[in-house]
Each structure stands twice: as structure tokens, then as C-alpha cells.
């Protein structure tokens, strides 16, 4: 079945450092891909998404490109801030036939800690 694999954390960076969180997926067909963020004590918030190959999702300085050839959707940010400290989840939309469904399949999550 479809699955998502994320790099294990925690990832600890200094403020203004470059961030990459790796995400690869296994899927038949063409799922939509997502990054969600979970701040302490809160629910998940959609950070960005991409719906087809070569699409780039971006939001709040974060970017990720849907790479079908490498089945990847790595999250990047050029300069992280302390306020970016959170857990980041990569996810894909499950499919029924060629259609995306409402079900999301999540990776294990990567904890990011940014130090001043």
C-alpha cells in the first residue's frame, strides 16, 4: 500500500540555519502531497501542498517540490527561526482508483528544535 517515510529526528538547528527535512513516498498513481506542522499542544496545520509532479508548494518561507522521478517531497527553508520549532509531518492523499480520497497517510513526523 501507499506509505510515507520521513527522516528521523530530532533535528536541532541554530537560528538562521538552512533546513531540510527529507520525505519520500511510495504510491501507485498520482497522489497529492502535503506538509503539516504541529506546534506544541495544538492540532495539525497544513503548511503547504503540491498536487502534481514538479509542482512547488510554498508558505511562510518553507518550500517543497513534488519530484515524481525520485518519489520525494523534501521540505526546505532558507533561514529558520525559533518560532519554527515544531513537529513536521509529510503526508499523501490515499487514492481509490485514479481519484484522491480524503484519507491522509502520514510519515512518522520529524521534530525540529531551533536554538537562539
Partner 1 sequence: DSGVTQTPKHLITATGQRVTLRCSPRSGDLSVYWYQQSLDQGLQFLIQYYNGEERAKGNILERFSAQQFPDLHSELNLSSLELGDSALYFCASSATDSVALNTEAFFGQGTRLTVV
Q: With respect to partner 1, which residue has the nearer C-beta, 49 or 74?
A: 49
* Residue 89 found at the interface with partner 1 (CB under 8 A): yes
Cell 510515507, located at residue: 4
* Residue 42 found at the interface with partner 1 (CB under 8 A): yes
Cα dihedral 40, 114, 74, 78, rounded to 10, equals 130
* Residue 57 found at the interface with partner 1 (CB under 8 A): no
- Which residues in this chain contact partner 1 in the complex, by CB under 8 A? 32, 34, 36, 41-46, 49, 51, 89, 93-94, 99-109
Amino acid at each position: 500500500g501507499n506509505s510515507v517515510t520521513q527522516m528521523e529526528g530530532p533535528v536541532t538547528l541554530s537560528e538562521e540555519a538552512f533546513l531540510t527535512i527529507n520525505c519520500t513516498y511510495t504510491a501507485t498513481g498520482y497522489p497529492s502531497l502535503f506538509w503539516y506542522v504541529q506546534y506544541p499542544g495544538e492540532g495539525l496545520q497544513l503548511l503547504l501542498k503540491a498536487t502534481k509532479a514538479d509542482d512547488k508548494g510554498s508558505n511562510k518561507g518553507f518550500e517543497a517540490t513534488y519530484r515524481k522521478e525520485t518519489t520525494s517531497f523534501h521540505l526546505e527553508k532558507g533561514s529558520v527561526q525559533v518560532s519554527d520549532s515544531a513537529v513536521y509531518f509529510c503526508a499523501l492523499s490515499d487514492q481509490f482508483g485514479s481519484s484522491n480520497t480524503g484519507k491522509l497517510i502520514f510519515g512518522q513526523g520529524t521534530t525540529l528544535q531551533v536554538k537562539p
